């Protein structure tokens, strides 16, 4: 005897792809003609046994069953997407004409939605094929670029339905971001913790929320370092240190994040250059304030131009343009390990 059971479905989003979970409802059975004589003609629920060669009976029965099970929810896009698994089941049962059998069942059961279901399933197959072909490229992107690329393709294929299809993923992302933000809010004020402990708590929180994505460097060491060095408590510690102590603390934090010794050495040189620029910038701002207090008009502008050239050489025109928009780069907060 050959048994075919009717199905119920759940759509699940995981890693950007839509996966389908398929369960069974043991109400519809198909028996061969010779077995039919030895079985009752109906199941306990009144669904008839079906001769395996009677495709039309199969279509009619499954159409009824699908309408009973999903008629109240077929307008839901995730329920429509779950029909992909049912389609594959029908094609497996009828290799020669399974697709047409599936389409007929959908048209019988859901005449108002059948065409939309076919188009949706075709677009999802295109999306999943694209996603698989792009996996290596996506893994090389940072989290922001990867997310933008995924959503760009989703909206291209599904339009406004993309939001509904991947709403669960969006809800998860928002929850992850909230948990990280809650951790950051605590760490900003955690002046009683050591820098090592703060960094451990931050990286552990990110790993708990993002798991394999963090391991696969979709969230890079540089990104985590930038978040860490923006913590008020970390900056308060670094500001209180001598230059030598600060350099050692920055190196230790980067080492804890997993940077190589070569990269740590390169970043230390960057820190020295940034420190030189900030010292020069502070000296410029102090001298500028004096000029502003002593001169005005064209005379002030002339002296400021000379001062900018003295301190910034070829960058003087850029500094002038910034100041024309009331932006003063050396009035920004100094963030050791970052800017």
Asked whether residue 50 falls in the same domain as residue 118, the answer is yes
- The residue range of the domain holding 86 is 6-131
CA-wise closest residue to 235 among 187, 292, 202, 273: 187
Q: Which of 207, 229, 259 is the last residue of a domain?
A: 259
Asked whether residue 307 falls in the same domain as residue 246, the answer is no
Higher pLDDT, 175 or 154: 154
- pLDDT value at residue 42: 39
pLDDT at residue 63 above 90?
Answer: yes
What distances in angstroms separate CA 63 from CA 71, 132, 176, 187, one per listed residue? 10, 33, 41, 58
Q: pLDDT tens across 207-256, in order?
A: 888 765 544 444 578 888 988 999 999 999 999 999 999 999 999 999 99
Quote the longest CA-to-CA distance of the chain: 111
Q: Considering the domain boundaries, does residue 147 fall inside one?
A: no
pTM reported for the whole predicted model: 0.53
Local confidence band at 47 (pLDDT 50, 70, 90 cut-offs): very low
- pLDDT value at residue 15: 38
Asked whether residue 79 falls in the same domain as residue 26, the answer is yes
- pLDDT value at residue 102: 95
- pLDDT value at residue 7: 40
Q: pLDDT tens across 94-128, in order?
A: 888 899 999 999 999 999 999 999 999 999 999 99
E strand segments, the chain: 6-14, 17-25, 30-31, 50-51
Q: pLDDT tens across 270-314, in order?
A: 999 999 999 999 999 999 999 999 999 999 999 999 999 999 999
Asked whether residue 180 falls in the same domain as residue 289, the answer is no
Local confidence band at 52 (pLDDT 50, 70, 90 cut-offs): very low
């Amino acid at each position: 005897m050959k048994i075919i059971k009717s199905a119920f479905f759940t759509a699940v989003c995981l890693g950007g792809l839509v996966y389908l979970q398929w369960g069974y409802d043991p109400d519809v059975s198909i028996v061969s003609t010779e077995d039919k004589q030895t079985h009752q003609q109906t199941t306990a629920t009144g669904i008839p046994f079906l001769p395996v060669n009677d495709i039309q009976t199969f279509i009619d029965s499954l159409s009824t069953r699908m309408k009973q099970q999903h008629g109240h929810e077929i307008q839901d896009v995730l329920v429509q997407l779950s029909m992909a698994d049912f389609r594959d089941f029908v094609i497996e049962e009828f290799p020669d004409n399974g697709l047409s059998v599936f389409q007929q069942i959908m048209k019988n059961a859901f005449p108002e939605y059948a065409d939309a279901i076919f188009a949706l399933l075709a677009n999802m197959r295109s999306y999943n094929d694209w996603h698989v072909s792009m996996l290596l490229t996506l893994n090389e992107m940072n989290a922001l670029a990867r997310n933008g690329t995924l959503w760009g393709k989703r909206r291209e294929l599904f339009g406004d339905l993309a939001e509904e299809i991947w709403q669960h993923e969006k809800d998860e992302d928002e929850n992850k971001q909230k948990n990280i933000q809650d951790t950051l809010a605590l760490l900003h004020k955690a002046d009683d913790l050591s820098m090592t402990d703060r960094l451990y708590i931050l990286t552990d929180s990110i790993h708990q929320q993002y798991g394999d994505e963090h391991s696969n460097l979709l969230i890079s060491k540089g990104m985590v370092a930038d978040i860490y060095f923006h913590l008020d408590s970390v900056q308060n510690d670094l500001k209180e240190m001598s230059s030598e102590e600060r350099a050692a603390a920055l190196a230790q934090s980067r080492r804890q994040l997993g940077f190589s010794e070569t990269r740590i050495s390169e970043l230390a040189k960057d820190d020295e250059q940034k420190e030189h620029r900030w010292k020069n910038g502070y000296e410029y701002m102090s001298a500028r304030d004096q000029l502003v207090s002593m001169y005005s008009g064209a005379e002030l502008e002339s002296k400021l131009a000379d001062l900018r050239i003295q301190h910034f050489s070829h960058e003087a025109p850029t500094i002038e343009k910034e100041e024309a928009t009331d932006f003063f780069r050396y009035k920004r907060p100094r963030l050791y390990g970052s800017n």
